[in-house]
Amino acid sequence: MKTNIKNFTLNELKEELKNMGEKPFRAEQVFKWLFSDRVETFEEMTNLSIDLRNKLSEKYRIGKFNIVRKLESIDGTKKYLFDVGDEEGNLIESVLMSYHHGYTICVSSQIGCRMGCKFCASTGIPFSRNLEPGEIVEQILAIEKDSNIKISNIVFMGIGEPLDNFDYVMNAIQIINDPKGLNIGARHISISTSGIVPKIYELADKKTQCTLSISLHSSNNKKRSSMMPVNNAYPIEELIKACKYYIKVTNKRISFEYALAKDNNDNLEDAKELAKLLKGMLAHVNLIPINKIEDGAYTKSSNENIIKFRDYLNDAGIVATIRRELGSDIDAACGQLRRQNLK
């Protein structure tokens, strides 16, 4: 299969075209056709010579997703199931959420996931491969076209572990950021990770303005390891050290995700441990009522417990909010993007 031309950042595209004997401004024109005008064929790139259009279509394809299924929640959230158009017929999911400040899309970064978190439905999907930069960006393009909207925020919280697909995710972000690309600022992008420590350092050194979210879920190594196997490789002390480095280098607040599961990580002892762990850090805690997945061991905490947990943290000087749940009736809420329909 030919390379998807949407995989290239503008600089990479300049290099590609240079190797074909073309001037850099040609790359800018192609890039604009792809991401501003959003054409689907090389023939439509009418400011290029017919000869160049032919050369491009011999070498590259313009990747496109097909919508296999679309579900709409009563709260307006939409879940899209896409056929990525590869030879294996792989399918992925993305979610569109509507907030008062605009539209947010939750994108997938991999086909399947290797992290094995016990509470997450993506764990049931066998890992197939990383999504390419063009495929990460395509989720936005396809949804904007179908829903006739402009996305303002992007969260890497769909299927996959973005820091396990670091280079492609970074390239996708460059395309998304580029004023000649999607022109969405890094401040409007969140990367969520289960805690791949070396990549957190790498991300910090890139000095992006993206928001980093850490899926913490417990401040206790034994408990966290039982929920998230990645904790065996990168325990909490190392994770927090990396987070402190990230904050120091970027001067940005980190968001800690904490999904509350009944009788597991939701009592006041847990809140106490969490407050101690995050004390003095430039941090925000996002409390999420855990979504029960099929055959899942965990069930949602009671509302009362969640509020108590939040109040304890707030009283201890830790900023904590309870995340509003969107799309749970269509299995589009946190961690629910699931195997159903997926190979």
Residues that bind ligand SAH (CB under 6 A): 115, 119-120, 157, 161, 192-194, 215, 257, 259, 288, 290-291, 293, 334-335
Contacts of 301 by beta carbon, 8 Å cutoff, 6+ apart: 260, 261, 262, 266, 289, 290, 309
d(CA 13, CA 16): 5
C-alpha distances (whole Å) from 198 to each of 176, 181, 203, 294 are 24, 29, 9, 32
d(CA 213, CA 172): 18
Between 34 and 120, whose beta carbon lies closer to ligand SAH?
120
Between 56 and 159, whose beta carbon lies closer to ligand SAH?
159
Select which of 113, 120, 243, 334 is catalytic.
334
Nearest residue to ligand SAH, scored by beta-carbon proximity: 335
Between 9 and 109, whose beta carbon lies closer to ligand SAH?
109
Contact 112, 125 (CB under 8 A): yes
Provide the CA 249 distance to its chain's centre, in angstroms. Answer: 22
- Rounded to a whole number of angstroms, the minimum distance from the CB of residue 215 to ligand SAH is 4
List beta partners, residue 156.
Answer: 191
- Rounded to a whole number of angstroms, the minimum distance from the CB of residue 120 to ligand SAH is 3
C-alpha distances (whole Å) from 61 to each of 44, 202, 235 are 13, 32, 43
C-alpha distances (whole Å) from 12 to each of 118, 256, 337 are 39, 34, 32
Between 13 and 259, whose beta carbon lies closer to ligand SAH?
259
The two three-digit tokens of residue 48, written as one number: 């290029």
Between 35 and 119, whose beta carbon lies closer to ligand SAH?
119
The two three-digit tokens of residue 234, written as one number: 């990168």
Select which of 16, 22, 93, 138 is catalytic.
93
- Rounded to a whole number of angstroms, the minimum distance from the CB of residue 148 to ligand SAH is 27
Q: Is 28 helix (H, G, I), strand (E, B) or coil?
A: helix
- Rounded to a whole number of angstroms, the minimum distance from the CB of residue 186 to ligand SAH is 18
Active site residue 334: yes
Active site residue 113: no
Catalytic residue numbers, as ranges: 93, 334
